[in-house]
Amino acid sequence: MELENKRYKIFFEIALVFLGGLFLVLLSFIVGGFPYKGEPISQLIWIELILLMILLALPLFR
């Protein structure tokens, strides 16, 4: 019974991630309008690199 409950817990967690995420994405469309397909902005790589640097630096200053 406990194993069965654990299985259902995992199933509901997976469903929550997929369906909850889908709901949040659609909600963002309602709030901000349906997004427009375009070219990736050139600064994206720099944003990601800065985030990576911050994450790598964080433990050094703790």
Partner 1 sequence: MVKTKSVGCLVILLLLFSNPVVARDYIEVWPQDWSDVTPLFKTSIFANRFFVKNDSLGASYLSTDGLYFKELDLVYRTVNRQAIEQEVVLRSKAELHGLFLGIDDRSNRHVVWSEKAENGYSINYTHFSIPYTDHMHHIIYTSNNTVQDIAAFQENNIIHLVWSERDKYFQIKYAQISNNELQFVETVTDTNDISVKPSIILNDRGIPHVFWMETSDSQGVKILHASRLSNNQWSMPTKIGLGTVQDIKQGGVIELARYGPEIFALWASTHRGGNNLYVSLVKFDSSGEISEQEFLAAGSRARFVDGTTEPQLVWQSDGQFGTEIRYAKYIDDHLDDEINLSVGRRGAFRPEAYCIDSNVYVSWLHADPEQGYVLHEINNEYPKKITTWRKVGIDEQAPFAHLLYVFISTFMMAMVYTVLNIVVMLVGGIIYGLVLRYNIYAEQSFFYRLSLLSIILMVVSRFPIPAVSASFFGLVHHGLAYVLALIGTYLLMRGVKNRGAFVNIATIIIWMYLFQYFSLIPEVILR
Q: Which residues bind partner 1 (CB under 8 A)?
A: 4, 13-14, 16-19, 21-22, 24-26, 28-30, 32-41, 44-45, 48-49, 51-52, 55-56, 58-60
We find the least distance from the C-beta atom of residue 32 to partner 1, in angstroms, to be: 6
We find the least distance from the C-beta atom of residue 35 to partner 1, in angstroms, to be: 4
In the DSSP assignment, the letter for residue 35 is P
Find the radius of gyration of the CA atoms of the chain. Answer: 19
We find the least distance from the C-beta atom of residue 36 to partner 1, in angstroms, to be: 5
Distance CA 16, CA 12 (A): 6
In the DSSP assignment, the letter for residue 42 is T
Q: Which two tokens stand for residue 25?
A: 């994405």
